[in-house]
Amino acid sequence: MIKIENLTKAYASATVLNIADLEIPKGQSFGLVGNNGAGKTTLFSLMLDLIQPTTGHITNKEVVVDESEAWKPFTSAYIDESFLIGYLTPEEYFYFIGELRGQNKAQVDEFLAGYEDFFHGEILGQKKYLRDLSKGNQKKVGIVAAFIGSPELIILDEPFANLDPTTQIRLKGIIKQLTLNRQVTVLVSSHDLIHVTEVCERIAVLHKGELVKDLNTSTQTLKELEAFFGGDGLPTQAVG
């Protein structure tokens, strides 16, 4: 699904991302963890062609992302509130995204009915603009909008931040369900090691822009990640 080769991103003389090789197969739930400035959002921004690589390429389902837009119909994402349109109500925004993805209002309404528990009565029918919603409720809208139209690849940057515990639990269930049939690939970045180990079958660690660990999730993964981030000095060993 995703293939990264010799990818770097540099600003002036500072290289903020340097990944020689990474492949993410279709249907995998893939987690990305790292401290602030590790390069997580930079990597996702490159995957979405929001910024250009300095060297190398990202291929999404055999489409080179920075050379063609053919990846867009099957790819969706929510990075932050800049993806929203503040002067629209949630309903108007959902219909707008639906139209972009070939869904009429009836189809969108049917889709949204499946997220009533996730919305918890705080999103639909409130007659509020997106800009007036709390950070958590804005995130709910952005995340669910990313699911409209049955995308094959979904990218979520820090999806658990600003959500209450009940909504976090429900979101974890949604992500697990999405990848159950191996037809949807979900990429999740998070500072919360517990959440990411619960929902992702594979986890990569970025440190200062470099991939330093690539783990298949097991019962020991959380302890390994805690040991890595809790150490006196973060190691910079190659992936092994």
| pLDDT for 107 beyond 90 | yes
Q: What is the pLDDT of residues 112-131, one digit of tens each?
A: 999 999 998 889 988 899 99
Q: What is the CA angle 216-220-221, rounded to 5?
A: 45
What is the predicted pLDDT for the residue at 138? 95
Residue 136 is assigned to a structural domain of this protein: yes
Q: CATH number, domain at 137?
A: 3.40.50.300
Residue 116 is assigned to a structural domain of this protein: yes
Q: What is the pLDDT of residues 46-68, one digit of tens each?
A: 999 999 999 999 999 999 999 99
Task: Report residue 230's pLDDT band, with 50, 70 and 90 as the boundaries.
Answer: confident
Q: What is the CA angle 151-100-144, rounded to 5?
A: 50
How many domains does the chain fold into?
1
> Which of 121, 180, 51, 49 is CA-nearest to residue 59?
49
| pLDDT for 18 beyond 60 | yes
Q: What is the pLDDT of residues 121-164, one digit of tens each?
A: 889 988 899 999 999 999 999 999 999 999 999 999 999 998 99
What is the predicted pLDDT for the residue at 37? 86
What is the predicted pLDDT for the residue at 237? 45
d(CA 212, CA 31): 14
The neighbour count for residue 118, using CB atoms within 10 Å, is: 19
* Better pLDDT: 136 or 181: 136
What is the predicted pLDDT for the residue at 233? 45
Residue 237 is assigned to a structural domain of this protein: no
Residue 37 is assigned to a structural domain of this protein: yes
The percentage of residues in the chain with a pLDDT greater than 90, rounded to a whole number, is: 83
Going through 41-99 in order, the beta strands assigned E by DSSP cover: 55-60, 63-64, 75-78
Provide the Cα torsion 28, 33, 39, 42; round to 10°. 40
**What average pLDDT is seen over the chain?**
91
Residue 236 is assigned to a structural domain of this protein: no
Residue 235 is assigned to a structural domain of this protein: no
| pLDDT for 238 beyond 50 | no
Residues 189-198: what's their mean pLDDT?
A: 92
What is the predicted pLDDT for the residue at 234? 53
Residue 238 is assigned to a structural domain of this protein: no
Task: Report residue 239's pLDDT band, with 50, 70 and 90 as the boundaries.
Answer: very low
What is the predicted pLDDT for the residue at 143? 96
The percentage of residues in the chain with a pLDDT greater than 70, rounded to a whole number, is: 96
d(CA 145, CA 48): 16
Residue 64 is assigned to a structural domain of this protein: yes
32, 44, 78 from 6: Cα distances, Å = 18, 16, 25
Residues 208-223: what's their mean pLDDT?
A: 92
Q: Which domain holds residue 36?
A: 2-169+176-230
